[in-house]
Amino acid sequence: MFITQAIAATAAQPGAAAAAKAPFPPFDVSTFAGQVFWLAITFGALYFIMSRVALPRVEKILEVRRLRIEGDLEAAAAAQKSAEAAVAHYEKTLADAKAAVQKNVQELRERLAGEADIRRKALESELNARIAAAEEKIAASKAQAMSNVSAIAAEAAGAIVRQITGREADSKAVAQAVAGVKA
Amino acid sequence: MAASAGNAIDPIHQFEVTKIVPIQLFGHDVSFTNASLFMVIVLLSVLGLMVYGTRSQALVPGRLQAAAEMAYEFVASTVRGTAGNDGMRFFPFVFSLFMFVLFSNLIGLVPYTFTVTSQIVVTFAFAALVILTVLLYGFARHGMHFLRLFVPSGVSPALLWFVVLIEVISFLSRPISLSVRLFANMLAGHITLKVFGGFVAMLLGAGAWAALAPLPLLGVVALTALELLVAVLQAYVFAILTCVYLNDAIHPGH
């Protein structure tokens, strides 16, 4: 207060006469009643309108916005949940389809393997049979050939005997001798 | 900030209350003055922000509505943080007080305007209103238990009378400190601005010294920024101290 009064005292020199009469304006008691009167009116009006109109309105705006945001967030959460459910459903369907396909493939593979096995076995047995038949034929041919060899040998022996002795050889003895050599 | 030719550098002239419409009521002078005019301007400005600004009640706010919502939420969080949820019953009061003081301070910074809060009677009326509210609500809600406010717990009986005395004095000094703080800040700031502004005018009229005139002009610019801060800060301080005092009425006892 000292400083402000000092400034007031020094700065009020142009109107020194007026300053001597009038007190420092904020301390001029004659204005107090009027200021308090108008302050009561204006502040009272402000308080009344704020508490009755403005603040409830702002509160309502904020509340509506809060509810809207909450509702939107809930809707978003629900949408996310349904999306997740759809993803889960899709993945389950995909997995099921994959499993079914694999099962089919496995079955097909097994069936084809079984069929191939059967065909292979049939072919093998057929080939075995043909091999056996061929072997039999070979054996028969061999036996035939061998018997032919005996006959030729006996004939040759008989001829040799005839040339040497000049008479017919006893075919039985010749056959016996050939058999003996052959053994 | 008003300046006429006769007292161009009189820093006190801006605080003078001049009658516009003389009114006498029950022997009291309640004339409509420039102070009254600016109280009405402050009132209309706050209404413009808080009522006109929120008229559309838009879900996505425009600029005015966003400002109104910010003011609401700022004061609401201050009240809730200082006086708790019980303090919200005083929210309209604290909000009106804060907005009135804030707009008075800010409008007063405009040159040629009158600063409502630069009058001690106005700030003291506000402070008295706050303290009366505290007292009335405190006694209405807690009865004589409200007096526990002055009796801190855990003080030895020998010292208690002294502590109670200090508490009573500190309580009684609240309306004074509350009102003088705001009044003195506004008064001193405006006088300083005016004095520096006067230096500019005087240097310009002093021949070669006019070259120095930009220096106090820079000072005025810087001071205006500072005063803007002070205007908002003092409104906030007034509101938060009101909350603190109301908190005493709601929750007496330390």
Nearest CA in chain B to A13: B10
- Of chain A residues 80-139, which have a CB less than 8 A from chain B? none
User: A90 pLDDT band (50/70/90 cuts)?
Assistant: very high
Q: Is A102 exposed, middle or buried (0-12, 13-18, 19+ CB in 10 A)?
A: exposed
Nearest CA in chain B to A3: B188
Q: Tell whether A5 is covered by a domain.
A: no
Could you tell me if A182 lies within 8 Å of chain B, comparing CB atoms?
no
Domain count, chain A: 1
Q: Is the pLDDT of residue B22 over 80?
A: no
CA–CA distance, B14 with B168 (Å, rounded to integer):
37
Averaged pLDDT for residues B82-100:
89
Q: According to the model, what pLDDT value does residue A18 have?
A: 46
Q: Is B19 helix (H, G, I), strand (E, B) or coil?
A: strand
CA–CA distance, B189 with B183 (Å, rounded to integer):
10
Query: What's the complex ipTM?
Result: 0.86
Distances (CA, A) of A121 to A114, A132, B250: 10, 16, 103
Q: Do A47 and B12 touch (CB under 8 A)?
A: no
Please write the tens of the pLDDT for every residue from B162-195: 888 888 898 889 899 999 999 999 888 888 888 8
Which range of residues forms the domain containing residue A69? 36-182
Q: Tell whether A13 is covered by a domain.
A: no
H or E element at residue B193: helix B157-204
To the nearest whole Å, the CA of A67 is away from the closest chain B CA by 11
Please write the tens of the pLDDT for every residue from A150-169: 788 888 888 888 888 877 77
Averaged pLDDT for residues B220-246:
91
Q: Tell whether A15 is covered by a domain.
A: no
- The count of CB pairs under 8 A between chains A and B is 156
- Nearest in space to B33 (alpha carbons), one of A43, A31, A23: A31
Q: Is the pLDDT of residue A87 over 90?
A: yes
Q: Which one of A7, A33, A47 has the shortest CB-CB distance to B195? A: A7
Which of A5, A29, A61 to mutate to test binding with chain B, by most B CBs within 10 Å of its CB? A61
To the nearest whole Å, the CA of A38 is away from the closest chain B CA by 6
In this structure, are residues B11 and A7 in contact, taking their beta carbons and an 8 Å threshold? yes
Q: At what angle do helices A55-165 and B91-108 cross, to 10 degrees?
A: 100
Mean of all residue pLDDT scores within chain B: 84
- Chain A residues within an 8 Å CB radius of B116: 39
Could you tell me if A20 lies within 8 Å of chain B, comparing CB atoms?
no
Please write the tens of the pLDDT for every residue from B32-64: 888 889 999 999 999 988 888 888 888 888 888
More reliable by pLDDT, B213 or A2: B213
Q: Report the percent of chain B where pLDDT is more than 90.
A: 28
Phi, psi of B112 (to 5 degrees): 75, 5
